[in-house]
């Protein structure tokens, strides 16, 4: 039989056969104990993943689904019974996710839920080893909604404040340049004009900050600079040679 003979059915033997039977039985017991430990470890790992507050998908080296928790069905529309063994790219059509899987980056990407477009998800891939990855999805719909509300508020408030502030600044500037303005009021008008300009700068800063937050900076947007090549190019240029000559004549500041 595949599992070997039970201990009670092992025939009596002496000498070499007794040692062989004992060795076989000992190996079998160790194998069974190892299987029990592995099953216990697997159940414990599954329990931990089930308890995570995020949708979690266990992927193999080919990005095929090995296991999922309950939240994966709610957020990603993935069913353990139906989709096990399927490639995650075939179930979630997203260029951001595909890029995340191929580059094995630790960065997060944001996509719409394939099950509900009103839900905004943040995806992250954690590489355990060459044959094991964890895809984690978090519902960030509330955070995205709050950010949109903040952007809308800043944009509307800045627009509503800018127009009356421009009118006030214009009249104050006219009063400053007027020869009919009493000298006793000149300082007050000048101070009011300066404060209106300060408020205008604050509004411009808010709008600039809003534009920066709305700009998505990706890794592709950054360009690596070979500093060794740049420094060598500068040193070999005419300006670099001139700087080198001047530096050699100037007293050193590094001592």
Give dist(CA 48, CA 65) in Å, integer: 18
Q: What is the pLDDT of residue 28?
A: 77
The 10s digit of each residue's pLDDT in 192-228 is 988 888 888 888 888 888 777 766 544 444 445 666 6
Residues in Cβ contact with 203 at an 8 Å cutoff, skipping those fewer than 6 apart: 158, 161, 162, 165
At residue 101, the 3 state secondary structure works out as helix
The 10s digit of each residue's pLDDT in 39-83 is 666 666 666 666 677 888 888 888 898 888 888 888 898 888 888
Q: Is the pTM of this model over 0.95?
A: no
> Quick one: DSSP state of residue 114?
S
At residue 110, the 3 state secondary structure works out as strand
| Residue closest to 56 by CA, chosen among 72, 43, 80 | 72
The DSSP annotation for 152-220 comes to HHHHHHHHHHHHHHHHHHHHHHHHHH-TTS-HHHHHHHHHHHHHHHHHHHHHHHHHHHHHHHHS---GG
- pLDDT band at 9; cut points 50, 70, 90: low
Give dist(CA 209, CA 192) in Å, integer: 26
At residue 47, the 3 state secondary structure works out as helix
Give dist(CA 9, CA 39) in Å, integer: 27
């Amino acid at each position: 039989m595949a599992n070997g003979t039970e201990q009670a059915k092992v025939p009596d033997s002496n000498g070499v056969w007794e040692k062989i039977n004992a060795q076989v039985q000992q190996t079998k017991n160790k194998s069974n104990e190892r299987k029990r430990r592995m099953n216990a470890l697997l159940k414990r790992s599954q329990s931990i993943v089930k308890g995570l507050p995020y949708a979690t998908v266990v992927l193999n080296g080919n990005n095929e689904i090995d296991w999922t928790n309950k939240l994966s069905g709610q957020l990603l529309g993935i069913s353990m019974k139906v989709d096990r063994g399927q490639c995650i790219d075939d179930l979630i059509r997203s260029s951001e996710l595909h890029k995340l899987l191929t580059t094995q980056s630790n960065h997060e990407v944001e996509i719409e839920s394939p099950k509900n477009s009103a839900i905004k998800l943040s995806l992250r891939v954690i590489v355990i080893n060459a044959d094991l990855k964890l895809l984690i999805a978090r519902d960030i719909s509330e955070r995205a909604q709050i950010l949109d509300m903040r952007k809308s508020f800043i944009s509307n408030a800045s627009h509503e404040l800018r127009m009356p502030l421009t009118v006030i600044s214009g009249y104050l500037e006219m009063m400053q340049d007027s020869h009919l303005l009493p000298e006793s009021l000149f300082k007050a008008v000048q101070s009011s004009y300066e404060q209106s300009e300060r408020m205008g700068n604050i509004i411009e800063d808010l709008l600039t900050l809003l534009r920066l937050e709305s700009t998505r900076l990706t890794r592709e947007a950054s360009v690596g600079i070979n500093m060794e090549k740049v420094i060598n190019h500068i040193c070999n240029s005419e300006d670099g040679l001139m700087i080198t000559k001047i530096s050699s004549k100037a007293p050193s500041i590094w001592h």
